Amino acid sequence: MLPQGTGTSGTARIDNLRQRLKLRRGRAFLITSLINIRYLTGFSGSSGYLLITGEGCYFFTDFRYQEQSKAEVVSCEIIITKKDPVGYIIKSIEKKGIKHLACEDTLSYRQFAMFSKKFQMTALKDTIEKIRLIKDEAELWHIRRAAKRAEDAFIGIKPQIKAGVTEKAVASMLEESLTAQGVSNMPFKVIAASGRHAAMPHAKPTDKALEGGDLLILDWGGESDGYYSDMTRTFLIAGGNDLSKKREIYDIVRNANREARNSVRTGQSAAEVDMAARRVIADAGYGQYFGHSTGHGVGIEVHELPYISAVNRKQKLEQNMVFTIEPGIYIPALGGVRIEDMVCVTGDSPQMITNLSRNLEII
Ligand SMILES: [Mn+2]
């Protein structure tokens, strides 16, 4: 199923990390984020610590994961901890002659305090997250498959979305359809927001039935082997009258989405992509109704680097970064529109990961 020779091995990722860290004797990096541990080693369990030294790589877990870690963890020595894993790990790190220990800045304060008693500590921010920014071919393959599953899941239930059906029913149909497509772990609960609820970017589905003239925002994601996708489409429910403002904001958001996608190229800043979308909406007079940033990275987390926001001037886009473009306009009482796509940065124009039509559909 996977393309061959794609460089997805944990060895390559750990080597890459070690090169960046330039660990000297007596120094090590302790990784505690399970998501980063999964990225580096393949371990998918719920308890583990990863220690990288200049020479070696050590994965600590407890007896529950003895067999699983043997099957999953590549290129690390596996150490099964006894009771009190942190105490055990501290002793083991001391034995290696480590004096300076770097940790991730997400380490809990309680554990930070325990390690601080024995080691000189440094907290590192986003070290592995920055490596995760650039997707390799195997990762892109899974992200594309996740998006395909999400689109197929939607196409399967689309005929059943119509006036009279509740938001909750739409959301649960789509979730069942995602499961049927092979999605085993949804990135988030499906958002189905209609009518005035569509003015809330992250509304929870309710018992409200879809009514003629409602804008319906559907935001959903797929998954493939731990990699996620994320997309949003907005529909108009057939019926109702005086739809001119709804059509107007739809066209503006669609133009903003297109302008932002057209601005994606290697070397461009994330802030410029945000501005490309924001300019269209502000020029049309709706700037105050677009209160969130334009996008976010997607991979083994559904929200990860890079953040496509106006403040992210220093983040330059590079080949094989994957993120969303999701401008929106939300007007209290009227409703809202969001059109969210996923792109992969490629040279001067991005490759689209999501492909469902962006034309206004009346259903
Ligand atoms: Mn999103």
Looking up residue 120, the CATH number of its domain turns out to be 3.40.350.10
Query: Is residue 119 domain-shared with residue 154, that is, in the same domain?
Result: no
Q: How far is the CA of 295 from the centre of ligand 1 (A)?
A: 7
Q: How far is the CA of 20 from the centre of ligand 1 (A)?
A: 30
Domain boundary among the residues 131, 159, 182 is at 131
- Residue 75: the pLDDT is 82
Query: Is residue 98 domain-shared with residue 142, that is, in the same domain?
Result: no
Of 175, 181, 172, the C-alpha closest to 152 is 181
Quick one: the chain helix, strand, coil %, rounded to 5? Answer: 35, 25, 40
Query: Is residue 127 domain-shared with residue 142, that is, in the same domain?
Result: no
Of 327, 326, 308, the C-alpha closest to 317 is 308
Residue with tokens 């886009």: 317
In a domain, 1, yes or no: no
Q: How far is the CA of 83 from the centre of ligand 1 (A)?
A: 41
pTM: 0.94
Q: How far is the CA of 233 from the centre of ligand 1 (A)?
A: 11
Q: How far is the CA of 60 from the centre of ligand 1 (A)?
A: 34
Domain boundary among the residues 85, 107, 131 is at 131
Q: 127 lies in which domain range?
A: 10-131
Q: How far is the CA of 61 from the centre of ligand 1 (A)?
A: 33
- Residue 212: the pLDDT is 98
Query: Is residue 241 domain-shared with residue 124, that is, in the same domain?
Result: no
Query: Is residue 118 domain-shared with residue 223, that is, in the same domain?
Result: no
Q: How far is the CA of 338 from the centre of ligand 1 (A)?
A: 10
Query: Is residue 123 domain-shared with residue 42, that is, in the same domain?
Result: yes
Q: How far is the CA of 101 from the centre of ligand 1 (A)?
A: 35
Q: What is the CATH number of the domain that holds 300?
A: 3.90.230.10
In a domain, 299, yes or no: yes
Query: Is residue 72 domain-shared with residue 166, that is, in the same domain?
Result: no
Q: How far is the CA of 340 from the centre of ligand 1 (A)?
A: 7
Which tens digits make up the pLDDT trace of 144-171?
A: 999 999 999 999 999 999 999 999 999 9
Of 252, 282, 257, 279, the C-alpha closest to 350 is 257
In whole angstroms, what is the distance from residue 274 CA to residue 259 CA? 10
Query: Is residue 50 domain-shared with residue 68, that is, in the same domain?
Result: yes
Q: How far is the CA of 143 from the centre of ligand 1 (A)?
A: 14
Q: How far is the CA of 353 from the centre of ligand 1 (A)?
A: 13
Residue 51 CB neighbour total at 10 angstroms: 22
Domain boundary among the residues 65, 98, 131 is at 131
Q: How far is the CA of 193 from the centre of ligand 1 (A)?
A: 15
- Tally the domains of the chain: 2
Residue with tokens 């080691």: 119
In a domain, 15, yes or no: yes
* Sheet containing strand 100-104, strands side by side: 77-81, 57-62, 49-53, 27-31, 100-104, 120-124
Query: Is residue 178 domain-shared with residue 293, that is, in the same domain?
Result: yes
In a domain, 257, yes or no: yes
- Residue 9: the pLDDT is 58
In whole angstroms, what is the distance from residue 2 CA to residue 20 CA? 28
Q: How far is the CA of 220 from the centre of ligand 1 (A)?
A: 9
In a domain, 3, yes or no: no
The ranges of the chain with pLDDT < 50 are 1-7
Query: Is residue 125 domain-shared with residue 145, that is, in the same domain?
Result: no
Q: How far is the CA of 118 from the centre of ligand 1 (A)?
A: 42
Q: Identify the DSSP state of 192.
A: E
User: By the 8 A CB rule, do 258 and 297 touch?
Assistant: no
H-only helix segments in the chain: 10-21, 34-41, 66-72, 85-95, 109-116, 127-132, 137-157, 167-180, 244-262, 270-283
- Residue 234: the pLDDT is 98
Q: How far is the CA of 206 from the centre of ligand 1 (A)?
A: 20
In whole angstroms, what is the distance from residue 6 CA to residue 274 CA? 32
